[in-house]
């Protein structure tokens, strides 16, 4: 046994001296002669080496290792070498002369802090984005699709004052109000019922007061328009999650669906923006390696009532929403380093006694950034197959080609020049457009976007037998304000189907700023020149919007 082992085992000083003397004499160590009772008990309780120790009854004999071997100097590995000390290789620990500032530490991470939130007007059940656990819920529809009920009431209130002269020459100063209410009943993580109601609006008629202008109604007091039914009321969910709950087995597929009086919006509202009575479902998150499609969705939809479209007319030649039905499919594809949107819809005229205005509506749009300089979206809408007969004029035919371009500057998030153009032939129509959605050119520029509140004037937004564009620049300051300046033009061409026969030009401005996280102020102005006998159009408005 080595001296080091003895030290680790706590042998007494007498035992160590005896071991040293025996080693110096070249004799084996007999620990039994030097150990006292405590040492002997310690060693007997310790684990033994591979061979027994001599001198202990019943333990056999073992030659103890030469202590001199352990006392020799350690040999150096020949691969090591000494180098000169470099006092610059290690720096001293940092010194903090200032008092610790927790706010300064937050700035290290971009000054991130809790965002002030706007609480809904009404919250029943779990909070909207509240802290803590959601809870286990209720297993009414199965353990794998548990209900965690939540009812939220939220929306916004808009108040605006404006002085407008529209393209028809009507000149009115007015104040108007609008109230948008949403009620969201969340059932499970994927199922809900949503209602949208505009109680101070009846169709396209707003609650307003005309107080100035030569064409105001001098005899009318403030006009209150009450909406007696919700604009939308629909259920949406995921059939895969519902089946998982009922069968108690997770499903490898998803099938989102909805039905009721529901809104649909495709291609930023250009191809379809309407609320109607119908249903829709989506086949989501598919891909095709053969076609180079990383992801695609297909949405199938149909509507039986309240299809708002100028493409279907009654016997008097007027738009009739009760006569139209539709069925269609829209596709969305991530392909060719861009985004492809396609769609086809059949609009059916249910009452053919006054002419068959049924037709086929097709669309395609592709969005992509080119050369790191411009983001482009090119879209096309084509209407074919309408044959009303009886010498009636077609209401949905021809095509619309749109090109939307945003340019990348040295301030790509805040300074955004844009140039949008279109070419329209005959009477191209969206599949369906609610009255509040404006014309099909609504997204082309400020000059084509009404406010759906005060009747703010615009250039012709229909694209019927016209070409033109809008060129402008948007500046967002520190992402807390918006300033837009724009020039636009409408040029009639090739036919007599358009709503205008003379050129139109306009200069538009918009400024928008949030006062708090609930109040937003927006100001708009437009001045339009119409060639020919028509008067110029103009408008100025100031709106206060309150979100809750």
The string of pLDDT tens digits covering residues 320-374 is: 888 999 999 999 999 999 999 999 999 999 988 889 999 999 999 999 999 999 9
Domain residue extents for the chain: 1-109
Task: Count Cβ neighbours within 10 Å for each residue of 337-365 and write b for 16 or more, e otherwise.
Answer: eeebbbbbbebbbeeeebbbbbbebbbbb
**What pTM, to 2 d.p., does this model score?**
0.77
pLDDT of residue 506: 98
How far is it, in rounded angstroms, from Cα 54 to Cα 334? 84
Q: Which residue has the tokens 């861009």?
A: 338
Q: How many helices (H) and strands (E) does the chain have?
A: 6, 22
Coil/strand/helix, residue 115:
coil
pLDDT, average across residues 97-102: 78
Most confident of 67-81, 185-199, 205-219: 185-199
Q: In this structure, how many other beta carbons lie within 10 angstroms of the beta carbon of residue 276?
A: 26
Q: What is the mean pLDDT of the chain?
A: 86
pLDDT of residue 130: 79
The gap from C-alpha 3 to its chain's centroid, in whole angstroms, comes to 74
Sequence length of the chain is 548
Token code pair at residue 128:
């909207």
Beta strand 432-433 with 272-288 is parallel
To 5 degrees, how large is the angle CA 444–CA 447–CA 451? 100
User: Does residue 71 have a pLDDT over 60?
Assistant: no
For residue 365, what are the β-bridge partners? 341, 379
User: Does residue 305 have a pLDDT over 60?
Assistant: yes
Phi and psi torsions of 140, nearest 5°: -65, -45
Q: In this structure, how many other beta carbons lie within 10 angstroms of the beta carbon of residue 62?
A: 18
Task: Count Cβ neighbours within 10 Å for each residue of 387-406 and write b for 16 or more, e otherwise.
Answer: ebeeebebbbbbbbbbebbb
Q: Which residue has the tokens 């929403």?
A: 321
Is residue 466 a contact partner of residue 490, using CB atoms and an 8 Å limit? yes
Q: Which residue has the tokens 């879209």?
A: 379
For residue 36, what pLDDT band results from cuts at 50, 70 and 90?
A: low
Query: Of 288 and 57, which is predicted with more confidence?
Result: 288
User: Does residue 46 have a pLDDT over 90?
Assistant: no
* First-to-final CA distance of the chain: 84
User: Does residue 285 have a pLDDT over 80?
Assistant: yes
User: Does residue 231 have a pLDDT over 50?
Assistant: yes
How far is it, in rounded angstroms, from Cα 129 to Cα 420? 38
pLDDT of residue 497: 66
Q: With residue 399 as reference, give the H or E element that holds it.
A: strand 397-407
Q: Quote the longest CA-to-CA distance of the chain.
A: 134
For residue 326, what are the β-bridge partners? 303, 347
**Lowest-confidence pick of 107-111, 267-271, 489-493, 498-502:** 107-111
User: Does residue 56 have a pLDDT over 50?
Assistant: no
The gap from C-alpha 351 to its chain's centroid, in whole angstroms, comes to 41
Q: With residue 294 as reference, give the H or E element that holds it.
A: strand 293-305
Would you give the DSSP letter of residue 24? H
For residue 504, what are the β-bridge partners? 490, 530
pLDDT of residue 180: 95
HEC assignment per residue over 462-508: CCCCEEEEEEEEEECCCCCCEEEEEEEEEEECCCCCCCCCCCEEEEE
Query: Of 391 and 298, which is predicted with more confidence?
Result: 298
pLDDT of residue 500: 86
pLDDT of residue 487: 98
Is residue 448 a contact partner of residue 441, using CB atoms and an 8 Å limit? yes
pLDDT of residue 101: 80
Cα–Cα distances in Å, from 311 out to 64, 382, 533? Answer: 109, 13, 29
Token code pair at residue 440:
């099909």
Instruction: Give the burial class of 33: count Cβ atoms within 10 A of its Cβ; 0-12 exposed, 13-18 middle, 19 or more buried.
Output: exposed
User: Does residue 188 have a pLDDT over 60?
Assistant: yes
How far is it, in rounded angstroms, from Cα 456 to Cα 436? 12
For residue 538, what are the β-bridge partners? 165, 527
pLDDT of residue 131: 77
Q: With residue 153 as reference, give the H or E element that holds it.
A: strand 150-165
DSSP for 305-328, written as a single string = E----TTSB-TTS-B-GGGEEEEE
pLDDT, average across residues 180-192: 96
Percent of residues, the chain, with pLDDT higher than 70: 85
Is residue 234 a contact partner of residue 194, using CB atoms and an 8 Å limit? yes
Instruction: Give the burial class of 207: count Cβ atoms within 10 A of its Cβ; 0-12 exposed, 13-18 middle, 19 or more buried.
Output: buried
Q: Which residue has the tokens 């927790």?
A: 102
* Contacts with 547 (C-beta within 8 Å, 6 or more apart), sequence order: 118, 155, 156, 518, 519, 520
pLDDT, average across residues 467-478: 97
Q: Which residue has the tokens 């802090």?
A: 113
Phi and psi torsions of 286, nearest 5°: -105, 170
């Amino acid at each position: 046994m080595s001296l080091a082992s003895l030290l680790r085992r706590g042998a007494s000083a007498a035992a160590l001296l005896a071991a040293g003397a025996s080693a110096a004499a070249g004799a084996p160590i007999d620990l039994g002669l030097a150990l006292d009772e405590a040492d002997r008990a310690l060693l007997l309780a310790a684990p033994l080496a591979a061979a027994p120790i001599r001198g202990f009854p019943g333990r056999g004999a073992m030659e103890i290792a030469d202590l001199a071997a352990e006392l020799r100097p350690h040999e150096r590995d020949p691969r090591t070498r000494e180098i000169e000390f470099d006092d610059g290789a290690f720096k001293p620990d940092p010194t903090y002369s200032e008092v610790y500032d927790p706010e300064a530490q937050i700035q290290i991470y971009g000054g991130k802090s809790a965002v002030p939130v706007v609480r809904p007007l009404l919250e029943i059940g779990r909070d909207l984005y509240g802290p803590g656990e959601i809870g286990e819920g209720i297993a009414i529809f199965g353990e794998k699709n548990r209900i965690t009920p939540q009812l939220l009431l939220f929306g916004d209130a808009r108040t605006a004052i404006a002085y407008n002269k529209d393209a028809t020459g009507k000149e009115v100063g007015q104040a108007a109000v609008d109230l948008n209410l949403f009620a969201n009943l969340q059932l499970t993580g994927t199922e809900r019922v949503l209602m949208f109601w505009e109680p101070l609006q009846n169709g396209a008629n707003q609650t307003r007061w005309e107080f100035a202008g030569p064409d105001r109604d001098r005899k009318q007091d403030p006009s209150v328009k009450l909406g007696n039914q919700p604009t939308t009321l629909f259920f949406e969910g995921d059939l895969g999650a519902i089946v998982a709950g009922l069968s108690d087995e997770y499903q490898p597929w998803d099938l989102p669906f909805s039905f009721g009086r529901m809104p649909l919006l495709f291609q930023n509202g250009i191809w379809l923006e309407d609320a109607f009575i119908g249903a829709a479902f989506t086949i989501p998150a598919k891909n095709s390696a053969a076609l180079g499609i990383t992801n695609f969705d297909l949405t199938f939809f149909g509507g039986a009532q309240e299809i708002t479209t100028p493409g279907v007319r009654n016997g008097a030649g007027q738009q009739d929403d009760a006569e139209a039905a539709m069925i269609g499919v829209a596709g969305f594809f991530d392909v060719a380093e861009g985004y492809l949107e396609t769609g086809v819809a059949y609009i059916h005229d249910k009452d053919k006694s006054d002419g068959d205005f049924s037709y086929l509506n097709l669309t395609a749009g592709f969005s992509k950034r080119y050369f790191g300089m411009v983001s482009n979206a090119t879209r096309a809408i084509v209407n074919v197959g309408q044959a009303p007969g009886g010498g009636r004029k077609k209401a949905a035919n021809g095509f619309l080609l749109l090109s939307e371009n945003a340019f990348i500057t040295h301030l790509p998030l805040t300074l955004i020049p844009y140039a949008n153009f279109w070419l329209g032939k005959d009477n191209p129509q969206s599949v369906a457009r609610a009255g509040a959605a404006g014309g099909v050119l609504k997204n082309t520029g400020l000059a084509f976007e009404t406010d759906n509140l005060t009747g703010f004037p615009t250039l012709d937004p229909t694209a019927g037998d016209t070409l033109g564009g809008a060129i402008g620049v948007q500046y967002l300051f520190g992402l807390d304000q918006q300033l837009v300046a724009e020039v636009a033009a409408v040029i009639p061409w090739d036919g007599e189907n358009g709503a205008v026969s003379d050129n139109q030009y306009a200069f538009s401005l918009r400024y928008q700023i949030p006062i708090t996280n609930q109040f937003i102020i927006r100001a708009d102005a437009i001045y339009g020149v119409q060639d020919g006998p028509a008067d110029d159009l103009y408008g100025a408005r100031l709106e206060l919007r309150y979100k809750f």
